[in-house]
Structure 1
């Protein structure tokens, strides 16, 4: 899917959108306009209001005047591009300056050419990050009160000191909210709600009974002080199903759950299927809530989500919970909006994603450093159930449903057709299942969907088991009585059911079991680091309980996704852990309203609970599992807690721009000038040097040194000494090793890491703790060794000349550099037409693609480059001899490039694809360079090779060239070897 459509020069603070993969479910009912063109986001070069206006002043007449001027500039751009202003959907002025518009590719290209436009971006979708699916039978009293809060130490800590979120507003961007929920009731003791602007959309958007008669009117109050709907693009491009609500009312349950987890009322009795469960409280029960519905059943468009962020800061929220994720790009519309929100002091908790336990699975926007990416852990509270077999054996698991009597039990494998072992929809035979408990295996379809299939086939209960013993056991609102358990126990029950004539079982709900010993452990599903693409910052930042979290639900779920009529659910996901952190931020905001978002984040990270275990329930977790650890605030009256961290790692707007110089240079129209200016002003422009509470180094070539600065937020001078737990195979030194920091002052120090025997390419972990004056401020360390750090490409000019390649080596040995090329560009000139559906490959490609064959034999480096100006947007795809796409370039406009390093010999086909051409085929010039693996060309190594090197040595290799033809583009490469082994390559591009 095309992402960035065009650039027209990006201002220093403007960033391009590159969100999650696009898509959405087909809707059975859609508003008029569905399918007309597409949705694009236009980012303007001028700054949004938050750069010149305080958040508290965004509703003043002065801000309204500035806002009107920004909107007028948007309309001017539309008119200049020949697009009706009525096609504009969302307008951004507070945390982003821009708008979204319904148009086609030609319209997007025309918009990109308008003065004042930074970028035009294809709108894409993000998704909620719950683990999608979704007690005592004698109705005994609940066995614990506020177990989550007790586990986090809030009952004897923050709450005992009166810190409950008083005066703090939490904004929840999600699927909406069920306003009548008891955790949202106004008991008359909350502060008066602020007046929210309704000039453009309702601030309490309930009661659209024309769309859905069940959408009852509701008047917002001093607890739920606002609820807005932001589904404008979603409704135009995807459409609402008939049983969704076209309002802020929640028809999925996700938004109600996250909102009540973060800031629901205290001490509310939960009840599922008519049985009392535990007493539930939000993390910040005295905070007030504004809900922003920007997700429909199929997800949410970045344009709508960004509009919700933009409105939230204007509404005056102090904290945003964003249990939403997608692609892990650094620059996107929502990440940019969060950057400006952080600059205004708005704390943001974002779920890390549910794609674990594999590495590099943290999604966006949790991967950027100005938000807090939250992973999920367990805590020692288990909604328990058991299965008692006819032979007397008992197996425990999780359950919130009622139980059954003694019933026949059947393995789903033998209860139907294909995929019946997984209880996939339509797979079970009613003749075999009716009246029985069915054993179902995880996989293929959702957990709750399996129970729906058991119910459809006449089953009376379900035993659901995982595919591994390390996975999380869930407690969804299943359609039939259900117990979920580990793989080993499930396999034992399967053997019993398959080998015992007349096998029977009984499901019993055991209520709430607080003796879950395996806590805290990282949940199986929680996304892990290293961070993509910015692995010099450790993500997730922190973790929090995210399994079996009891909180609110909608009693009217759409699409039959779960049983109706239930106001409560105990579900899991990083969606559930993120609002725990959002609520924690609300408590910190009450205690320290003067803190920046970065200071609060540092306090939470450096004072977290580090003794978490991996999902195997035995091995200590590492920073890529939990970040700094599990969030645990401690007491406001005690030192070395999140309320009194002593020292914090603070960062601001320009620090984050410096980070973008390393990880998001496409953000800037002139990155060299912008990043040079930042560096001259003293800001770090490499990701590892961002002043962050954790220390990540993704490529240590022997030795690397980073800088950090701590600020004293206490009322006393702090003298602290560095205590280091060095990563295995490394030596770590801190200079100075002891610091004294006055109240309000800052102190910088350097951390040097040297490889003393760690393997190349393997991450190792440690920590740095500043200890003294009653404080302990801990930062995790993650380092990865590399054999050599060399530039990917250098450039040169002139028909003859020289250039220097500087590398740092990480191993000792004999270093050699070998030159290949230079070779001149080969040109393929042709024309390509418009692909009607803009999709390659598809049956209608026709003249919308050109195919150019290439034979590669003994090539060290291959490059293809295609750039065409104007409104045209072409893409390129490289196919191997089997027709498989081995590389592609689909950037905005036509600025495409594919590189292959030492490609396999064989035949290849380059596809030139007409993504946005128009009615007339366009001419193009595809340039290619096939740099041979042999030596002896016009590029040579002048000096610096060979030489003996030690760990940490810098190597300067001078390369030279001569005899080139002016006006011809040349390409070559330099291969770096240590001990005869190829370690890296540097492309040499010369334009005489």
Structure 2
């Protein structure tokens, strides 16, 4: 939906993102005037609240992290907040509608208001941007609790597997996180969890600011009786609550703690995984399990509860980041995700946090195994995106059928006796759907009571299936996957359960359904290892390519994220998991992220002066290549695991994450250049900003960001990118490039040898990738490794060939004129450019009223929806445009020949446009929707252009075509037009063909 009226809505203030003054000196002549861009509309919030960012810099841009809570900074903070008050007053919005303020990593506030209020705020002096407040979610797959027989040999299994314990390894070298503060932004924390106990040997906890909220927020028994008081100690040094917007918008239930206490278990698990105490005995249902340790057991922990039971708002989450930086954290774990925007409140807060040296680990997401599923904020380059793999740990279970066959799987529950067994698909209540999947309310107690029920994955959660079996009186459950390459989980089910792959599950079901009175027994088989499966990428772990910034490979790294034993809450929300357990073994990229956060704590202790990018580079370039895909056979690709499987190595050894030798460093200006390519809307004046950055020597393309991996999402035959390495050792490093070229490409590195001076010395190089026969549109993978002086510094390479690189659109003016279309040809053959059009504007006048419920389609649309038919035949390009000034908000929906909605434009205000390239012939319907019209219907002009596939119009190609091309050939296509009527907007296209096959099109818009 849309905003009423256009406003200048730059996401970030120009002042905050201006290049360093000294670096940009001479970039523009004094007195040069800069044209301001067209005003941008505001996106309507789906949550009922907005985030407002101010033009003035946040404090962390000018104040050192350690000084953010001192008196001078507090004075500046009050001044910033006074500007927030003035903006609210000017917009006629009560300060009581504000839910939270930011001042450290962001300068702004969150406010509950409607779209018109957001519009008024955007027009206030000092306001740089107004953006919707979004919801994000924790990235655990389920509440998975481990169960089985004690295994005294399985001590610190995860830490041992990661190579942290043993002779000359991290722990034996004294690297356990001492002196490092880890901030965990999550669902809160259970402070009495044994891994958070203070044994009296930790340093004194920091002194935190208590001005606006408690730094140890427990004991609100008035809201929930078991919220016991707790005094933070030298291990759990603090716990803050950031649910201001959540409380205002969603509201706390009686089952949620109104404090920093954790009712989910998710936050307790991530905190104890990253930095829980060493050598703590875990126990589930009274049975001793592993002896466990956090990855950085000597680090101190501060928790920030910014997620409620329904998720969390970016305003609350960003406020937590804001406070964490002020509290002095060294590392943040953020096992949270959502939509993959480049610019949102939390992505920008993390950018400022990185600028002051805070390392951040973020979950990649749990939307795999499909491509393009990495979520936000892990898609941005200044955080570390962590994918999930398995490791050799299995909480085992089995089912023994009456015919003697035994099928193995996973189990954390007790077993059963020999009891009847039934297929859930045959145990359904009349009229209820999907009983085979054991969805809520589907099973018939008369058929299920006392039996083991076979349930298939799908439709509802795994634990919810066990809850349904319990409701129907079942004795146990066999749960089987929908495919054989999925992860098997160790959930805390409400009934005895064994989980297994699809094939054995279907074999069991076939046998059960062939018997008159089948019986079986479930058994818990304790703990074993599945070494031949590990490390493999978990089925759920989100994969690349990265959206929308495809030149950046994500995830960055992978780490164990399945059956991870750590802390839990004994007081969960009823129905989510069994109560009373302080331990669990859950799965998700939520679990792999704190593994990396803990590793960062060890790296911070060893190298306290490293930048966040340097630490990230060290972890990436030293990663192991042992992981396999979720099929458990194929090698994992960079879109599965990023640079590989996280492996810190021995601190004394060269070539490890502790001693990487060379790093790919990046600072604030580098990331600002990245925004020029991937989010120019972040700037009030992107043309000037990006020109200044380029003049100062910073790359303004994503592919040239100084990143530890090399991605190229559209190689038109040949492409060259630049990188720079920095020496973090005390001696000169001499290395030679070793390349594994992606299949169908050649790769050259210039220079191919480097001699990098010690301690801060740098060396730059170029990597040129040339297509030698790879199909366009397919990703291929390789690597570049710098080898020498005892180091191996490896970067993955991911490239995708493009048939051509051409702009999507060009513009021109005048009744006659010229323009140029720059083209790079990516395939051999004869390149030709063909002109179509120009065609003038067709005006479609319609009368539109208010849609009462502002929802399309819905039964009350009436005059709030107008349908305009269009017959398309032989159309090269179709465009529809609707622009209405003032307080009117209209949206466009396009229905295709089969009646389905194939495109929509629901921008802020009424600034809508829909384009179709080479649409199929047929009858289309453009729907004008009256989202905010008011009480009086109004006449509006829906403009359209249908550019024909035929040639011979007023637009012509004057030069550059035809051209005999080889991959990488650059062509400047000249265009000309004449004879246009004055005072209109014309549209045409240039079709690009190679060897007679059309491969792309450029729209040409001329204002006459």
Q: Same fold (TM over 0.5)?
A: yes
Gaps of 5+ in 1: 25-37
User: 1:392 maps to which residue?
Assistant: 404
CA 414–2 in structure 1, closer or farther in 2 if over 3 Å, else same: farther
Contact 1:278 1:512 in 2 (8 A): no
1:566 shift after superposition: 1.0
User: 1:343 maps to which residue?
Assistant: 355
User: 2:257 maps to which residue?
Assistant: 245
User: 2:104 maps to which residue?
Assistant: 94
Is it true that 1:277 corresponds to 2:289 in the alignment?
Answer: yes
1:600 shift after superposition: 0.5
Q: Which digits, 9 at most, give the CA deviation of each residue in 1:335-361, with x for residues without a partner?
A: 111111111111111101111111111
Q: Report matched runs for 1:117-196 at 5 Å.
A: 117-132=127-142, 134=144, 139-156=149-166, 157-196=169-208
Contact 1:137 1:403 in 2 (8 A): no
Is it true that 1:634 corresponds to 2:649 in the alignment?
Answer: yes
Task: Pick from 77, 88, 95 the counterpart of residue 87 of structure 2.
Answer: 77
Q: Which digits, 9 at most, give the CA deviation of each residue in 1:420-477, with x for residues without a partner?
A: 2111122222222222222211111111111111122222221111111100000011
Q: Tell me the distance in 2 between the aligned counterparts of 1:50 and 1:761.
A: 42
CA 726–515 in structure 1, closer or farther in 2 if over 3 Å, else same: same
Contact 1:869 1:894 in 2 (8 A): yes
TM-score (norm: length of structure 1):
0.96
Helix, strand or coil at the partner of 2:533: coil
User: 1:878 maps to which residue?
Assistant: 894
User: 1:536 maps to which residue?
Assistant: 551
Helix, strand or coil at the partner of 1:291: strand
1:4 shift after superposition: 12
Contact 1:455 1:479 in 2 (8 A): yes
CA 171–786 in structure 1, closer or farther in 2 if over 3 Å, else same: same
Contact 2:4 2:887 in 1 (8 A): no
Is it true that 1:422 corresponds to 2:437 in the alignment?
Answer: yes
Gaps of 5+ in 2: 18-38
Is it true that 1:41 corresponds to 2:51 in the alignment?
Answer: yes
CA 4–918 in structure 1, closer or farther in 2 if over 3 Å, else same: closer
1:829 shift after superposition: 4.6
Is it true that 1:893 corresponds to 2:898 in the alignment?
Answer: no
Q: Tell me the distance in 2 between the aligned counterparts of 1:741 and 1:925.
A: 63
1:908 shift after superposition: 2.5
CA 361–819 in structure 1, closer or farther in 2 if over 3 Å, else same: same
Q: Tell me the distance in 1 between the aligned counterparts of 2:802 and 2:590.
A: 35
Q: Tell me the distance in 1 between the aligned counterparts of 2:634 and 2:42.
A: 34
Q: Which digits, 9 at most, give the CA deviation of each residue in 1:22-64, with x for residues without a partner?
A: 878xxxxxxxxxxxxx211111122211111111111011111
1:877 shift after superposition: 1.6
Is it true that 1:690 corresponds to 2:705 in the alignment?
Answer: yes
Task: Pick from 695, 718, 722 the counterpart of residue 737 of structure 2.
Answer: 722
Of 847-856 and 545-554, the range deviating more from structure 2? 847-856
Q: Tell me the distance in 2 between the aligned counterparts of 1:2 and 1:990.
A: 27
User: 1:32 maps to which residue?
Assistant: none
User: 2:841 maps to which residue?
Assistant: 825
Contact 1:41 1:98 in 2 (8 A): yes
Of 615-624 and 550-559, the range deviating more from structure 2? 550-559
Q: Tell me the distance in 1 between the aligned counterparts of 2:145 and 2:219.
A: 34
Helix, strand or coil at the partner of 2:254: coil
Contact 2:828 2:965 in 1 (8 A): yes
1:911 shift after superposition: 2.5
Q: Which digits, 9 at most, give the CA deviation of each residue in 1:216-266, with x for residues without a partner?
A: 111111111111111111112112222111111111111111111111111
Q: Tell me the distance in 2 between the aligned counterparts of 1:543 and 1:136.
A: 22
CA 877–137 in structure 1, closer or farther in 2 if over 3 Å, else same: closer
1:673 shift after superposition: 1.1
CA 96–985 in structure 1, closer or farther in 2 if over 3 Å, else same: same
1:6 shift after superposition: 6.1
1:894 shift after superposition: 2.8
Helix, strand or coil at the partner of 1:624: helix
Q: Tell me the distance in 1 between the aligned counterparts of 2:665 and 2:341.
A: 24
Is it true that 1:905 corresponds to 2:915 in the alignment?
Answer: no
User: 2:379 maps to which residue?
Assistant: 367
1:981 shift after superposition: 0.7
User: 2:989 maps to which residue?
Assistant: 973
Helix, strand or coil at the partner of 2:532: coil
Q: Tell me the distance in 1 between the aligned counterparts of 2:376 and 2:15.
A: 19
CA 836–194 in structure 1, closer or farther in 2 if over 3 Å, else same: farther
Q: Tell me the distance in 2 between the aligned counterparts of 1:618 and 1:87.
A: 55
Of 850-859 and 911-920, the range deviating more from structure 2? 911-920
Contact 1:173 1:293 in 2 (8 A): yes
1:292 shift after superposition: 1.0
User: 2:61 maps to which residue?
Assistant: 51
User: 2:23 maps to which residue?
Assistant: none
Is it true that 1:224 corresponds to 2:236 in the alignment?
Answer: yes
Q: Tell me the distance in 2 between the aligned counterparts of 1:201 and 1:696.
A: 43
Q: Tell me the distance in 1 between the aligned counterparts of 2:933 and 2:637.
A: 50
Q: Tell me the distance in 1 between the aligned counterparts of 2:363 and 2:492.
A: 22
Q: Report matched runs for 1:189-588 at 5 Å.
A: 189-417=201-429, 418-588=433-603
User: 2:634 maps to which residue?
Assistant: 619
Q: Which digits, 9 at most, give the CA deviation of each residue in 1:818-874, with x for residues without a partner?
A: 101111222345554443433222334344333333332222111122233444433
1:102 shift after superposition: 1.0
1:561 shift after superposition: 0.7
Of 862-871 and 669-678, the range deviating more from structure 2? 862-871
Helix, strand or coil at the partner of 2:119: helix
Helix, strand or coil at the partner of 1:559: coil
Q: Tell me the distance in 2 between the aligned counterparts of 1:644 and 1:987.
A: 51
Contact 1:273 1:402 in 2 (8 A): no
Is it true that 1:662 corresponds to 2:674 in the alignment?
Answer: no
Contact 2:466 2:495 in 1 (8 A): yes
Q: Tell me the distance in 2 between the aligned counterparts of 1:930 and 1:280.
A: 66
1:19 shift after superposition: 14
1:17 shift after superposition: 13
1:81 shift after superposition: 0.9
1:810 shift after superposition: 1.2
The size of the alignment, in residue pairs, is: 979
CA 868–5 in structure 1, closer or farther in 2 if over 3 Å, else same: closer
User: 1:793 maps to which residue?
Assistant: 809
User: 1:30 maps to which residue?
Assistant: none
1:515 shift after superposition: 4.2
Q: Tell me the distance in 2 between the aligned counterparts of 1:682 and 1:983.
A: 34
Contact 2:724 2:763 in 1 (8 A): yes
CA 559–324 in structure 1, closer or farther in 2 if over 3 Å, else same: same
Contact 1:821 1:932 in 2 (8 A): yes
